[in-house]
Amino acid sequence: METGVPKCWSGRISNGEAVKAPIPKAATACRPAVLAATIAVLAVGAQAADPKVPPAVETGNRVPVAIITRGFDYTRPDIARLLARDGEGEVIAWDVTGEDRFPYDAGGDTALISEIAAHIGKDASISLLAVKADPDDPVSMAKALAFIARTPARSTIVPMWSSQRRNWEPFEKAARHFNKLRIVVRSCPDLPADGPDAVYPRDLELPNVTLSSDPAATVETFVAGLPCRRP
């Protein structure tokens, strides 16, 4: 199995291909200290892999609600129980930047997701279908919506916001393209729409959701009503 670590022997180094020119034993990549450091870096990378999602069983009675997030610590029991699962108990989620189904971040939106978990309570009638995106990468936000459109979730919560409209242009195009998705954004009551500060995506005037008797209404109302300049 190739490890990516150069192979050193008798003054030669190889990355899977024959090296015709002889390389002295003192070649940088073959020095024991450098080689050890290279292996250590690779080992740290392996250890940095996203943790597994704690196992759980999907009852099949919960309504999946998507949420675009910067990632969160899903190993916490209060959060793990909320995650959307398939029939085999595997989590339904996606990390746009990492291109895997583990939207992990030790910090990120962990505090927000924990607040949502506490708000919903243990006997939740909804599950969270989390998609990790990078708010500083406008295209990743659009890709998040594209993924959600292929899932059972019909409502999408977008808790992040900014005052830069151009950063939301790809998201706006995706939201209008996937117009069957209900987009729930933060209303930012501390930054009213008639005030001097623009708030996006709120001020994009995208189609929103009627919360009435929807089973997801409580969590959507909770997130949408969060202030944008929290103390």
- pLDDT by residue (tens digit) across 74-97? 999 999 999 999 988 899 999 999
Residues shown for the chain: 231
Predicted pLDDT of residue 83: 95
Interhelix angle 110-120/217-224, nearest 10 degrees? 140
pLDDT, mean over the chain: 78
Predicted pLDDT of residue 156: 92
Predicted pLDDT of residue 19: 43
Among 198, 205, 139, residue whose Cα is nearest residue 168: 139
Predicted pLDDT of residue 16: 41
Of residues 173 and 190, which shows the higher confidence score? 173
**pTM as predicted:** 0.74
130 bridge partner residues: 67
Q: Can you list the pairs that 32-35 forms with residues at least 24 positions away whose Cβ atoms lie under 8 Å? A: 35/5, 35/6, 35/8
Model confidence at 221, pLDDT cuts 50, 70, 90, reads confident
Dump pLDDT digits (tens) for 148-162: 999 999 999 999 989
**Domain 63-224, architecture per CATH:** 3-Layer(aba) Sandwich (3.40)
Predicted pLDDT of residue 216: 52
Is pLDDT of 15 > 50? no
Predicted pLDDT of residue 223: 83
**What order of strands is seen across the sheet that includes strand 155-158?**
94-95, 126-132, 63-69, 155-158, 182-185
Predicted pLDDT of residue 56: 87
Predicted pLDDT of residue 121: 80
Backbone region of residue 98 per phi and psi (left: phi > 0; alpha: psi in -120 to 50; beta: other values): alpha
Pairing verdict, β 12-14 and 7-9: antiparallel
pLDDT average, residue stretch 194-210: 77
Cβ-count burial 57-96 (b if 16+ within 10 Å, e if not): ebeeebbbbbbbbbbbbbeeeebbebbbbeeeeebbbbbb
Of residues 9 and 132, which shows the higher confidence score? 132
Among 150, 198, 194, residue whose Cα is nearest residue 174: 150
Predicted pLDDT of residue 208: 56
Dump pLDDT digits (tens) for 24-79: 444 444 454 544 454 344 444 444 689 999 988 877 788 999 999 999 999 999 99
Domain ranges of the chain: 7-47, 63-224
